[in-house]
Structure formats: C-alpha cells, structure tokens
Structure 1
Amino acid sequence: MIDFKELSAYADAFTCSENERLKQMEQKAAAIYIPIMQPSSMAFLQQLIRWTGARRILELGTAIGYSSIRMALAAGSDASIITVERDQAMIEEARQNIETLNLQHVIHIVCGDATEELQEVVAAAPFDLILIDAAKAQYERMFHRYTQLLREEGIIVTDNVFFHGLVCDVDGVKKRQLNRLVKKVDAYNHFLAQQSDFDTVFLTVGDGMAVSTMKAHGAHREER
C-alpha cells in the first residue's frame, strides 16, 4: 500500500515556483513550520483560477502571503485579492513579500479575525472564489459567514480537509485536544457534503482539498 504522504510528496516534486522569492518563502515555511499550502494543492488552485477566470478572490488566512501571491500570479494584474489575517507579525512579513513582487495593487491585507464580520471584506463582495485556509476548528463557522459574500455559481475552496489522513481514523487519535480538532474537520466534511446549495468534490491533493461550487438559483428551484 502506497503511503498518502509519499504520494503527496511525489506530486509536489512536479510543481515549481514562479520566482526565487516564492522558493525562499517555501524554504522558510518548511524550516520553521509556517503553515502554507502544499505545492500540489497550490498548483491545482492556480489551475482552478485560470479555468474559471476568477478575478475577485477572498482568502481567509494570509500567513506570510504565499497563497495570495500565487493566486495573484494566476489571476492576473486586473484581479483583486482580499486576504484576512489577525497575526500582526504575519501581516508585516506578508506585506513585505507582496511589495517585493510588486503585487500590492492586486493584494489587499485586512487585519482582523476571519470568524467575525469585517466591513472591508463585505464592501469588496461579491467574490468569485473564496479560499478557507485559517483555523480548522472554525471552518464551518467561516463557511456560514462567507457564503453570503459569494456570487452565484462562485466557488469555495477549503484546504487541509483530510488533516494528514487523520480523518480516516478519528478514534485512533489518542491525544484529547488533537482528537477534538480532527472530529471538527471530519464533521465539517460531512457538513459540506450535505449542503444542498453547493456541489462539493473532495480531492486527494496535498493535505486534502474540498471544492464547493454554488448552484445557480434555477438549480435550487428545480430541487425543491
């Protein structure tokens, strides 16, 4: 049986960063465990942006700006990316990375808690695509909050939905705090699958990714 982590590493080996700054960010993240998207997940997200032509994008969880930068490179110079982060140190580092690549006209950082209503985010809606990549325990809460800011037939992408494969063996996770978190992620996955207003597919890319597409209003009416 092939190990899931080994397969992910194999896929990651075929992806490449667009520039030296991104390579440096990847190296730093690996060295001091900064949470950024895995290369294969990021590559798929970039392709999704190109396929759908998404231009108005919301990211929940900026970290050092890695994902927002790569989304901006895929979306183009006429895109508008709003990214939300509450850690001030992360914000400062992300801003430096974004300015180094001259993408400050595309990416706007909002300082705040992604689980709360943020007026700057509301004012920028509706969004073509929303990336949920912040606190895993709050995934469902964030989905509820930001669904209303998504355009019809827009897409919500959630990263880390397999949580290192632990969702396949929740009872086998013995550490109490970790077990609670894994249960939350597993419950979120079941929640996504039950949303009648969305079509969701779960992908075995990176650490697991869910792509949820809002159905057109006509489709809603037909189901009822």
Structure 2
Amino acid sequence: MLGFTERKRTLVDFKELSAYAAAFTSSENELLRQMEQKAADIYIPIMQPSAMAFLQQIIRWTGARKILELGTAIGYSSIRMALAAGKEAKIITVERDQAMIEEAANNIKMLNLQSVIHIVEGDATEDLQEVQDSAPYDLILIDAAKAQYEHLFQKCTDVLAEKGIIVTDNVFFHGLVCNIEGVKKKQLNRLVKKVDEYNHFLAEQKDFDTIFLTVGDGMAVSTKKEYTACGGNC
C-alpha cells in the first residue's frame, strides 16, 4: 500500500488526466473529427470527446429514443447522440444563433440525419411549441447558457419522461468552481458562482438523484427518484 508521500507524488493534474482519457475515445467519422478540430481552433463550445462518449454510453444503456438538447451549436452533440440512439430516434435540439443553426443543419445533412435530428430555432429559456409537442423526453441534455442552468432544469422537469434523465454539461467550468475567489474578473466570477449555485441546487432536489462526474468539463447526471406507495420513505 502506498504511503502518504508516495500517494502525493502520484497525483496527476486533472487536465492531464482528462487528456489521457480522451486519447482513448474516437469519433465515428471524418466530419466529426473536422468539427472537433474547428471547435478547438476557433473556440466553438462543443462537448469534450470524453464527456460525449460517456453520454453516448448512457443513451445505449438506457435505450433513450426521444431526446431534447438545449444548445445545438454546430450540431456536434446532436449528431453523436443520433449515432448512439439509432435511426428510429427523434432528437429535438434548440438553438437561437442563426449562423450556428445554418452550420448545424449543413453538418446534419452531410450525414443524412435530417430524419432523426430536428433543429428548433428559439431561446431555450422560453416555452417553445415544437419542444412541447414532442414531449416527454427520455433524455435531456442541458448545454446552453450557463447562467440560466437552474431555470432550464426546472423547465426540463415538465417535459421529462417518468424514468427520464437530465444531463448537464460544464458543471465544473474549467475547474473554476473549486476556486471562485481566485476568479478576479467580475463577469466571469458571477458566471462561475452561478454554476456553483446550480450544482448545489441539483444536490438539493428532492425528486432527483444527481451524480457529478469528472469527465470532460464536468457532467451532472440527474435521474428521477422512484417513489413507493409509502412516498419513498420506506
């Protein structure tokens, strides 16, 4: 057994470990690899490959077929979710940026996934009829405006299936949630605090069990609690 000194020496930087894990994941096709490279080059906010691979596993494990995504960007996550869920799946993805919508639609078309993925133009914080019409959802991915995470989660509970799952990306926000006082820029500090408050909010939800995972930039997986005839207090 390693002693304290030896254990301390074996500690590895989180980013280094994440990069090591990401090296074992691979995208399904060349277009996805190009999307990953473009996102890295000009900082388009897409899910990190290791987090995306885990999300695909959740979809395979649960057999999720009706999926809602809040935050399309260039269509990377919706495409990879579609590949995991299969041709019979239905993915509704919400985006308000017109340039992003056009690029996502083109990427989706290039992989012939138009029958699986439907982009809804609009603000995810608002009541969108197309989102309501396709409810309930087996899985919901929250990957939109971080300052609105709590509001988005509350809206998601209304359209989630009985045994549905809500996945939230970026809940560690580049590790800044562990050192909020060290973030000196006021606007960034407020945003980090919002993410930290959201994490505490998730942990306090009586109707959900949430686990926080150190994959990608941090992922929270929230599942509805199953209540028995005695109200879950047996």
Q: TM-score, normalised by structure 1?
A: 0.98
User: Among 151, 155, 166, which residue is 1:145 paired with?
Assistant: 155
Residue type of the alignment partner of 1:33: Y
Aligned residue for 1:51?
Answer: 61
Aligned mate of 1:65, from 62, 75, 78: 75
The aligned amino acid for 1:190 is H
Contact 1:112 1:118 in 2 (8 A): yes
Q: Whole-Å Cα distance in 1 between the matches of residues 79 and 118 of structure 2?
A: 11
Q: Is the 8 A contact 1:155 1:211 kept in 2?
A: yes
Q: Does 1:129 align with 2:128?
A: no
Q: Secondary structure at the match of 2:152?
A: helix
The reply on whether 1:29 has 2:39 as its aligned counterpart is yes
* 1:124-170 Cα shifts (integer Å, max 9, x gaps): 00000000000100000000111110011210000000000010111
Query: Is 1:90 matched up with 2:100?
Result: yes
What's 2:119 paired with?
109
Give the superposition deviation at 1:220. Answer: 8.2
Residues 37-60 of structure 1: CA deviation (Å, up to 9, x unaligned): 000000000000000000000000
- Could you say which residue in structure 1 is the equivalent of 2:193? 183
Mapping for residues 152-171 of structure 1, pairs under 5 Å = 152-171=162-181
SS at match of 1:36: coil
Q: Deviations over 1:55-102 (max 9, x none)?
A: 000000000000000000000000000000000000000000000000
Q: Look up the match of 1:15.
A: 25
Task: Pick closer, same or farther for the CA change 1:16–1:189 going to 2, 3 Å.
Answer: same
Q: Which runs of 5+ in 2 are unaligned?
A: 1-10
Matched AA of 1:109: I
Secondary structure in 2 matching 1:223: coil
Contact 1:25 1:66 survives alignment (8 Å):
yes
**Matched length:** 224
Aligned to 1:6: 16
Matched, 1:75 2:85: yes
Q: Which runs of 5+ in 1 are unaligned?
A: none
Offset at residue 217 of structure 1 (A): 4.2
Point out 4+ residue stretches in structure 1 off by more than 4 angstroms: none
Q: Secondary structure at the match of 1:157?
A: strand
Q: Give the SS at the match of 1:216.
A: coil
- Rg comparison, structure with higher value: 2
Could you tell me which residue of structure 1 aligns to residue 233 of structure 2? Answer: 223
Q: CA deviation at 1:197?
A: 0.4
Deviates more, 1:5-14 or 1:132-141: 5-14
Q: Equivalent pairs: percent with the same residue?
A: 78
